[in-house]
Amino acid sequence: MRLSVSAALLLIAGTAAGGAALVNCSAAEEEPALSDEEINGANNAMGLRLVYDEATGRVNATVRSRIRATDKLVLRVRRGRLSMDSQRELDCSELPEAPHLAPREDAPTKFVYQGPEVDRSLLASVYTQEWIDGNITPQMIERLSREGADAIVEACILRDGAARARLQTSLQYAWDQADPNLSSGIGERSLRPLGADAGAGEDGGEEGDGGAPRPVRAGNPIRSMEKYAELCVRELGEIPFFKKLGPGKYETFDCRDFTGSSGPIDGVEGAMIPTSVSDDNGRENTPNECNDRRVNRYNCYDKCDKPEWLFQSCEPGPTVSTAKNDKGTHWTLLCRSTQSEGEETAESLKKTKRFNDIAMIGHNPITGKTCFFQNKIFSGTDGARVTHPADLEKSRHVWDEPKGYCMGCHSAEAFIHTPWIDGAIRRDGTPIVPKMGAHADFEISWNGSPYSVVNRKAQARGRVGGGSWDMPKQIVSEEADACLSCHRIGAGQGMRRFPMWAVGEEGLDKFPSGTSGPLEPKLTNWAKRFENSHWMPPRLSGITEETWPQSKYAKAVAHIRKCAENAAAEGCLFEDIPEAP
């Protein structure tokens, strides 16, 4: 039957009182179309969430409202690899159905679906101490590639076989969802990136309006990188490498080209860290072919002029980037352990965008607050698309769960300097990595400056990441004053090597494996010359190879070595490093 326009208008007017009922009835019969973003991810329109219940050892799913009787909620927990695309590629038909639990008396409107008991092995990181120490074997790499680095929880709501909601995340994120202090995100913040040492910018760092989500709070262990990074952003300000698109959503960053996914970013500087091989007379003769290629050792050449200290390695191609935000926080992003497809040469390693080791530091020199971020080593290797660690959908494409072992080397300050990394320079000729005496925010001799890792004590209490979150003490012995008059020296693993290497001596660890190994065999003869091997003090002021042993610096290093061997030795004094209030 067709109605005239006037008749239709009369019908509408005549049913105004019952209009709402008619509209609701019509809406119930129609199948509203959902966009890709409404179906996929943590902000799905169905309100699907995944929560790990530590008490029962199960992952449960919750939804905002009761789903239809003909709908199915399916859920699975497994080991695998989370990536930029894995959520959209998830085949929901492979997941088992989760039963609906009867409502609790204290929560009658909460709709919960019971998932499986979680294998306890999934709660532990795949990155054991062997990975952390760098004792990485080809078998370990092969197993990681086969099984994946992530403990994955995934669920879908299916209607007539089609997904109405699809959510895939990490077990750690589901664990954090059980904590009411962590189950809501930070408010939106605007950010204008600044030059490396610029002043405060306009329009930056403000909290969102009253309708924004409640800020995540510190004090409890935070197990997921997404939530830990949210807290870091709250404490330190935004990370300028990543343009913000919305709550929990960011562009990616290319750490080879130093650009965001939509183009260059104001205030970001980056450079490749040079690697050279010189002859005995100092003439550079760096080969294009690798003569000692060991991927697990970040290596290409058997010797070079300035080896990388962490793994005593010589590789072409690593990069480092820096930027400062409007809260005064300095951020650095290091991409190393280069690996290219096909034949590997120095030139191919300088062009590759695959990095087996990607790490980032945010540090505010005024408050001392610091955050460390580490990728899924040999898994989250996409240097062309480095993700913001707080991105709800993309973080785990690159980043691992929070880890505390960084403080073993970064024991005195957030940023470590070596001849290797200081080879990467800004346009003004200063090092890319913020350095005292080179950049205004970092004063020489400010040994009372605060230094703390965000939420460290709570992370230590929860043994997040499976390792230690202890902050080493600093040496304060008077006998070490020749060095301490300029900078702190922290205890920990770095103290066993770095002070000695800075003056051309070998460290305490002599076994050529992992992070503990000798540096001297990796040095060219040119690098071993006194004026090249004695990187500290910055000015030798007339000290020669013959007079060095009698210098105050040599005596200070000898004392530091003694205390590194035995902290209880005579004259060895240590104090806590001041932490932020």
Hey, what amino acid is at 325?
Answer: N
CA gap 164, 71 in Å, rounded: 9
User: Are 44 and 130 within one domain?
Assistant: yes
H helix and E strand count, the chain: 15, 18
Q: Tell me, what's the pLDDT at 198? A: 35
User: Are 355 and 225 within one domain?
Assistant: yes
Provide the domain count of the chain. 3
At 163, list the tokens: 């997904």
CA gap 299, 337 in Å, rounded: 8
- Reading phi first (left if > 0) and then psi (alpha if -120 to 50, else beta), residue 64 is in alpha
Residue 364 lies in a domain: yes
CATH number at residue 41: 2.60.40
Contact (Cβ atoms closer than 8 angstroms) between residue 312 and residue 510? no
Q: What is the pLDDT of residues 66-119, one digit of tens each?
A: 899 999 999 999 999 999 999 999 999 999 999 999 877 666 557 999 999 999
pTM for the structure as a whole: 0.89
CA gap 322, 258 in Å, rounded: 10
User: Are 358 and 269 within one domain?
Assistant: yes
Q: Which of 286, 579, 573, 295 is nearest to 457 (CA)?
A: 579
User: Are 565 and 430 within one domain?
Assistant: no
CB atoms within 10 A of CB 361: 22
CB atoms within 10 A of CB 578: 14
- Residue 542 DSSP label: T
At 406, list the tokens: 């960084």
Longest dimension (CA), the chain: 109
User: Are 139 and 206 within one domain?
Assistant: no
Contact (Cβ atoms closer than 8 angstroms) between residue 442 and residue 436? yes
- Reading phi first (left if > 0) and then psi (alpha if -120 to 50, else beta), residue 481 is in alpha
107-117 as b/e: b if 16+ CB within 10 A: eeeebbbbbbe
CA gap 216, 185 in Å, rounded: 6
Residue 393 lies in a domain: yes
CA gap 186, 235 in Å, rounded: 11
Range of the domain at 357: 186-273+317-469
Q: Which of 311, 346, 330 is nearest to 418 (CA)?
A: 311
Contact (Cβ atoms closer than 8 angstroms) between residue 474 and residue 575? yes
Q: Which of 154, 183, 152 is nearest to 167 (CA)?
A: 154
Residue 127 lies in a domain: yes
Dihedral of CA atoms 519, 523, 525, 526 in degrees, nearest 10, equals: -120
Q: Is 152 helix (H, G, I), strand (E, B) or coil?
A: strand
Residue 292 lies in a domain: no
Contact (Cβ atoms closer than 8 angstroms) between residue 151 and residue 172? yes
User: Are 228 and 344 within one domain?
Assistant: yes
Q: Strand 330-338 vs strand 355-363: parallel, antiparallel, or unpaired? A: antiparallel
User: Are 334 and 465 within one domain?
Assistant: yes
Q: Which of 312, 323, 317 is nearest to 336 (CA)?
A: 317
Q: Is 471 helix (H, G, I), strand (E, B) or coil?
A: coil
Dihedral of CA atoms 175, 178, 180, 181 in degrees, nearest 10, equals: -20
CA gap 560, 489 in Å, rounded: 9
Q: Tell me, what's the pLDDT at 3? A: 41
CA distances from 557 to 414, 504, 521, 537, 554 (A): 22, 11, 21, 11, 5
User: Are 151 and 127 within one domain?
Assistant: yes
CA gap 123, 101 in Å, rounded: 24
Close Cβ partners of 454 (under 8 Å, ≥ 6 residues apart):
218, 228, 231, 232, 235, 236, 369, 370, 371
Contact (Cβ atoms closer than 8 angstroms) between residue 522 and residue 461? no
Residue 298 lies in a domain: no
Q: Is 371 helix (H, G, I), strand (E, B) or coil?
A: strand
- Residue 393 DSSP label: T
Question: What is the SS3 assignment for 162-185?
Answer: EEEEEEEEEHHHHHHCCCCCCCCC
CA gap 94, 96 in Å, rounded: 7
CB atoms within 10 A of CB 297: 22
Cis check for the bond before 537: say yes or no (omega within 30 of 0). yes
At 148, list the tokens: 């994946």
User: Are 452 and 498 within one domain?
Assistant: no
Q: Tell me, what's the pLDDT at 148? A: 98
At 373, list the tokens: 């971020």
Close Cβ partners of 13 (under 8 Å, ≥ 6 residues apart):
none
Q: Which of 340, 40, 6, 259 is nearest to 166 (CA)?
A: 40
Q: Tell me, what's the pLDDT at 343? A: 82
**pLDDT tens per residue, the chain (581 residues)?**
344 434 333 333 333 344 433 334 444 456 778 999 999 999 999 999 999 999 999 999 999 888 999 999 999 999 999 999 999 999 999 999 999 998 776 665 579 999 999 999 999 999 998 898 888 999 999 999 999 999 999 999 999 999 999 999 999 999 999 998 887 544 333 333 444 443 333 333 333 334 455 678 889 999 999 999 999 999 999 999 999 999 999 999 999 999 999 999 999 999 999 999 999 999 999 999 999 987 777 899 999 999 999 999 999 999 999 999 999 999 999 999 999 877 889 999 999 999 999 999 999 999 999 999 999 999 999 999 999 999 999 999 999 999 999 999 999 999 999 999 999 999 999 999 999 999 999 999 999 999 999 999 999 999 999 889 999 999 999 999 999 999 999 998 889 999 999 999 999 986 555 666 899 999 999 999 999 999 999 999 999 999 999 999 999 999 999 999 999 999 999 999 998 76
Contact (Cβ atoms closer than 8 angstroms) between residue 411 and residue 284? no
Residue 225 lies in a domain: yes
CA gap 528, 535 in Å, rounded: 11
Q: Strand 319-324 vs strand 330-338: parallel, antiparallel, or unpaired? A: antiparallel
Sequence-ordered alpha helix ranges (H) in 66-215: 86-89, 129-133, 138-147, 171-176
Residue 287 lies in a domain: no
Where is the domain boundary, 131, 150, 176?
176
Where is the domain boundary, 419, 437, 469?
469
Q: Tell me, what's the pLDDT at 105? A: 64
User: Are 145 and 194 within one domain?
Assistant: no
Where is the domain boundary, 131, 157, 176?
176
User: Are 330 and 353 within one domain?
Assistant: yes
User: Are 169 and 209 within one domain?
Assistant: no
Residue 571 lies in a domain: yes
Identify the H or E element spanning 53: strand 49-53
Q: Strand 269-272 vs strand 574-575: parallel, antiparallel, or unpaired? A: unpaired
Identify the H or E element spanning 244: strand 244-246
